[in-house]
Amino acid sequence: MSRILLFFSVFAFYFSTALGQTKQVTGTVSEEGGESIPGVSVLIKGTKTGTQTDDNGRFSITVSPGAVLVFNYVGYTSKELAVGSQTSLKVLLESNSTDLEEVVAIGYATVNRRDLTGSVSSVGAKQLKDIPNNSLAEAISGRLAGVQITVSEGTPNATAQIRVRGGGSITQDNTPLYVVDGVQVENALSVLSPQDIESIDVLKDASATAIYGSRGANGVVLITTKGGREMKTTINYNGLVGFRQLANKLEVLNPYDFVKYQYEASRGNATSESLYAGYYGTFNDLESYKSTPFVDWQEELFGRNALMQTHNVSVTGGDAKSTFNLSVTSNTEDGVMLASDFDRKLINFKFDHKFNDKLKVGFNVRYNNTVVNGAGTSSEGSSSLNRLRQAVKYRPLLVKGQDIYAYDPDYASETNGNSLSLVNPLLLNEAEYKKAFTNVTNFNGYFNYSIYKGISFKSTLGVDFNNNRTNVFNDIITNESRLVGSSQPIASIATSNRQTINNSNVLSYTNSGTKTEFSKHHSIDALIGQELYQDKIQAYYTENRLFPIGITAERALANMSLGTTPAVAATSSDLTSRLFSVFSRFNYSFDKKYLLTLT
């Protein structure tokens, strides 16, 4: 009994001591002008204990001696305050306009992030600076909320699919609209380098994309490239060297399990049993395959260390009137798949000049030359054209003294159900030749004239030339040759020439520069504009078959007359489309608290 009394006495002592060591602290949080701030996070440093200020900026929290309170709120600098012996606090938070004053592109204009009424995700040069990647699409992957970026395969320069808040287009085309420096550019992520990007803003909801009409139904990606600055001319070098490796492989059967499965599958069919015996022997030979070396075709075809290099040299500078930026980039990359690689050279020059307080002009010139080798792992069409399928399903052992590059016509014939024959993946990779050439030249220029205080007119003109050529050669062991080429080589050449012209004219007004009593509380921005977009595409395709067996891809493509032209193998098209649009937007802000946007 005495022990129990002693325990409760000690417990009561410590409990009363603990109560004596904690105290209630109250206070208010306000900004520099004296206005209270509701919703401020108040945390005890080093713990998860905290509270928030109420609608009047007041808070109350229980703390221990020596506690430090941390005050956080969006748009304000975080503040730490030691409680000490105080029980009542008055906390003043300083405005941190860095985030809220960040300029965001919203289509034909820019606004401070604090004035946004639509949904916009952004990524800037700082986030892209140290990303070791040659692909702009892969560089921004996972960095834009609500934007899903997927690459169809690991081939260098593979096309990326961009989906803004999912896909839901009734036209089955969910590709967003790309606008680079105010000019619409098709497939912009494939023709720009991460090193040349200043910012990327993605307009996601109907409010943000409305100004682009139906073109913005799948989202709008606004890309701003790096320009010059008022500074001493500076030369910068940015480079990276790395390797790519296959991250994961699919599990496949080992030689013993594979041969055992073939044995069981061949029972009951005389032809299959005969083929099995010719390849693998009898049932009594099964045990010998436990020691047969395993051939990992995925490793053989995709297992190399693929070298990747990027070298970028830029020259930046300017004065109070003129600024410029010249960037030269070289991207080279080997694919993890044998016989695949990518070589891209880019030049980007941007120049801006201010004639006077009223007139400013500028232009931007970009050139892109890209060469991509390799057929990739998949193509449009049936699964018989999928190279990955061959690496996974081809037998995992060598038989009859064959080496790693042996071609087995009997096995190809045996597995040719529905034209899905299995062929040595390494040989098939060499037999499928593909080389793509791309040349892109972009030119855009603008002038901005200030008509009157707060009223300005801007005209932008962009011209884009996109030339593509793809050479394809299928040798005799490919499925394409077996299906439509009578098991003889096939060669094809596809070219496309695309020319786009984009002109926009915008008249805008803002009262942000006027120092009147009205503008202190009421902020107004408005614009009205017109845009013309013309797209002309010329495409040609020719295919010849029945080339002499043994001819090389280079010779066949250089001498298409050596083949035979089938009845329908040459096509051409010439399409021109034009789009004329008018648009307007009105932004209103009252005391920087209440926002209205009409488009």
**Distance between CA atoms of residues 492 and 566, nearest Å:** 12
Residue 306 sits at φ, ψ, to 5 deg, of -90, 115
* Contact residues for 565 (Cβ-Cβ < 8 A; gap 6+): 542, 543, 544, 545
**Cα dihedral 112/115/119/123 (nearest 10):** 20
At residue 66, the 3 state secondary structure works out as coil
Per-residue model confidence (pLDDT) at position 413 = 82
Q: What is the pLDDT of residue 394?
A: 92
What backbone phi and psi angles, to 5 degrees, belong to 118? -100, 180
Query: What is the chain's pLDDT, residue by residue, as a tens digit (599 residues)?
Result: 444 444 444 434 433 444 446 889 999 998 877 788 887 888 888 887 888 888 788 999 999 888 899 988 766 788 899 988 888 999 998 876 545 556 777 878 777 776 677 778 888 887 777 777 777 887 887 777 777 877 766 677 777 778 887 665 555 567 888 899 888 888 888 888 888 888 888 888 777 788 888 788 888 888 888 888 888 899 999 888 999 888 889 999 999 999 999 999 889 888 888 888 888 888 888 998 999 999 999 999 998 999 999 999 999 999 889 999 999 999 999 988 898 998 999 999 999 999 998 999 999 999 999 999 988 776 544 555 567 888 899 999 998 778 899 988 888 888 876 667 888 999 988 999 999 999 999 999 999 999 988 899 999 999 999 999 999 999 998 888 888 888 899 999 999 999 999 999 999 999 887 778 888 888 899 999 999 999 999 999 999 999 999 999 999 999 999 998 887 778 999 999 999 999 999 989 888 788 888 88
Distance CA 202, CA 191 (A): 18
User: Which of 142, 114, 112 lies closest to 127, judged by CA?
Assistant: 142
> Which residues in the chain are classed under CATH 2.60.40.1120?
2-96
Secondary structure element (H or E) that encloses residue 230, with its range: none
**Residue 229 DSSP SS3:** coil
* Overall residue count recorded for the chain in this entry: 599
CB 517 within 8 A of CB 569: no
CATH 2.170.130.10 domain residues, the chain: 99-233
C-alpha separations of 213 from 156, 183, 545, 579, 582 in Å = 34, 16, 46, 11, 10
Q: Is 79 exposed, middle or buried (0-12, 13-18, 19+ CB in 10 A)?
A: middle
Q: What is the pLDDT of residue 14?
A: 39
Model pLDDT, residue 419: 62
Instruction: Please give the pLDDT value at position 6.
Output: 43
Domain boundaries 99-233, corresponding CATH code: 2.170.130.10
Pick the CATH number of 2-96 from 2.60.40.1120, 3.40.50.1000, 1.10.1670.10, 3.30.70.20: 2.60.40.1120
Handedness of CA 121, 127, 129, 131 (dihedral sign): negative
Round to whole Å and give the CA distance between 294 and 281: 18
Residues paired with residue 443 on neighbouring β-strands, in sequence order: 365, 463
- What does each C-alpha distance from 329 to 123, 310, 425, 570 come to in angstroms? 21, 7, 35, 37
Q: What residues form DSSP beta bridges with 69?
A: 44, 81
